[in-house]
Structure 1
Amino acid sequence: MLTDSELHRWWIDPREYERHESRRGRRHAYETLDPVRTALVVVDMVPFFADNNAYVRGIVPHINLLATALRSAGGLVAWVVPAHAPPLGRTSSEFYGPAVCAVFTASGGTGPPRSRLWPALDAHPQDLVVEKSAYSAFFPGRSPLPERLAEHGINSVLITGTLTNVCCESSARDAATSGLRVLMIADANAARRDLDHNAALHTIYRSFGDVRTTAEVLGLIR
C-alpha cells in the first residue's frame, strides 16, 4: 500500500492523439468551455476509497482547485456518493459473493450524503450533492444527477474522482451517450494502479470524450 499521497503516471499513446488529429484536425475535441453550462462531477470521494489509496488522496488538491475556479466562474459543482445499495442490483450478491456484496453496499458510509465526503474536500453549501445506486452516476433511474444537471442547463461535464476505471469511466461513458460534452481530468481521477488508470483514459479519449489535465481545464474555465 502507498504511504503518501501521489498522482498517477498517466499516459496516452501518441498514436491515439495522431488518430484524432487526422480525423478532426485537432488533438482535443472540446477546445472551449462555457463555465456557466459546465459541471464538475466528483465521483465517490469517500473514506472507503481514500483511506487506503494514496492516489485518491493525491487528487484532492486538484479537485478543490477545479471546484473553486468553476464556482467563481458561475459553474456547478456536483459531489456524487454511493447510495446504500448493491451496485449491480439484484445480481450483486451472486456476482461478488454475499460478503463482498455487503462491503460494497455499505461503501458510501452512513449519514447525510454531504457528511460522507472525504473531509479534505472543499464542498460548499451551494454545491449539489447526490447519491447513485449504480457504478455510473448517469445511468437512467439510478441517480438524480442527470435531471439536476439538465435543470441548470449543463452541456459539459468534468469527470473526476475514483475509481477511474470503474465508476468514473462508467459515468463518463453514460454522460457522453446522453449527449453531454465529457472531459475526463487525467490528474484528478484515481485508480488502484497506473495500468488501470491509463486504460480508462485511453478508452475515454478514443471513443467518448476528451482527456485533459487540471491545469488545462483551469485555463479553459478562466
Structure 2
Amino acid sequence: MAKMHQTGVSPALIDFMKKRRGSVHIYDSFDPAKTALIAVDMQNAWLMEGQPAYLECGPGIIPNVNRLADALRGAGSMVVWLRNMHSEAKLDAWSNFFDFFGPNRRERMVAALTEGNLGSELHADLDIRPEDEIVEKMHYSAFTRGSSDLEDKLRARGIDTVIICGVATNVCCESSARDAHMLNFRTVVVSDGNATGSDLLHTGALNGLFAMFADVMTSEEVLVRLETTVAHAAQ
C-alpha cells in the first residue's frame, strides 16, 4: 500500500482559528460552474521511483486526486493539470532556482523536466480526460508573473474557487495557493491530496496556509460539500 502523510493541520491551530473566526472551515459549499480543481505537478519526476525528485508519499495521493477530478468534472467543474517544465527561458529568467540544488541534482532535474523526457510527463495512473486543461508553468507558483496562463484560463471560465492538490505541499502547491488567495480566488487546499518530502514539511505548509491563505480540507470534506451543493441545486 502506498505511503501517505499521517499529519495535517495541527489540532492546536484548528482550535485557535476556530476561536478566532468562529468556525473551523471557511467555505460550506462550492458552485461547480465556478470551481476548478488544480492538480499541481503530478509528474513522473515526483511520482516515479528513481526519478530525481521522487517523493515517497507522492504516489499515495493519486487515488484521492482522481476521485476529486472525477467528482468535480462530473458536476461541471474545470479540471486543470499543471506541468512544471524546464526550458532555456527558465534558466535565464530564474537562475537562482538552481542555487538550491547541488550540481548533480541540478542537471538531473533540468533533464527530467525537459519536454520529451519521462520525468516531465504526467503520471500514467492519473485519470486525465480530453476535456481537462493541461497547463505548463515555469515557476513554483502557477500564478506569479510569467509562470503560466492559468489565471487567464480561469477568468475566462468565470472561476472564483480553486481546489489545490498535488506536489509538493510546501513548494509549488503552497506558492500557488498563496498567490491564488491574493488574486481573490476562494482557495482550498486538500490535506490528503498533497504530498511532500516529510510530515514536518507537509504539516508546516498546511498550518501556514490554514491560518491566513486557504481553507484546508480532506478530500472527503470537499466531496461532501460538492455533493450537498449539487443535491440542493437539483431540488
What TM-score results when the alignment is normalised by the length of structure 2?
0.86
Give the superposition deviation at 1:159: 0.7
| Structure 1 residues 77-124: Cα deviation after superposition (integer angstroms, max 9, x where no partner) | 0000012234871323445355433333333342399x8110000000
Q: Report if aligned partners of 1:92, 1:101 keep a CA contact under 8 Å in 2.
A: no
* Alpha-carbon distance in 2 for matches of 1:107, 1:139: 23
Amino acid of the structure 1 residue aligned with 2:226 = I
* Alpha-carbon distance in 2 for matches of 1:215, 1:184: 12
In the alignment, which of 188, 203, 210 is matched to residue 208 of structure 2? 203
Corresponding position of 1:136: 141
In the alignment, which of 7, 14, 17 is matched to residue 17 of structure 1? 14
Query: SS of 1:166's equivalent?
Result: helix
In the alignment, which of 79, 83, 86 is matched to residue 85 of structure 2? 83
- Structure 2 vs 1, CA of residues 107 and 12 (structure 1 numbering), >3 Å: closer, same or farther? same
Corresponding position of 2:31: 34
Aligned length: 218
Q: Report if aligned partners of 2:85, 2:115 keep a CA contact under 8 Å in 1.
A: no
Corresponding position of 1:69: 71
Q: Report if aligned partners of 1:43, 1:161 keep a CA contact under 8 Å in 2.
A: yes
Q: CA RMSD in A?
A: 2.0
Q: How do residues 21-170 of structure 1 correspond to structure 2 at under 5 angstroms?
A: 21-52=18-49, 53-85=55-87, 86=90, 89-96=94-101, 98-111=103-116, 116-170=121-175
Query: SS of 1:54's equivalent?
Result: coil
Q: Report if aligned partners of 1:12, 1:202 keep a CA contact under 8 Å in 2.
A: yes
What TM-score results when the alignment is normalised by the length of structure 1?
0.91
Structure 2 residue runs of 5 or longer lacking an equivalent are: 50-54, 228-235
- Structure 2 vs 1, CA of residues 89 and 24 (structure 1 numbering), >3 Å: closer, same or farther? same
Moved more, 45-54 or 95-104: 95-104
Structure 1 residue runs of 5 or longer lacking an equivalent are: none
Q: State the identity %.
A: 39
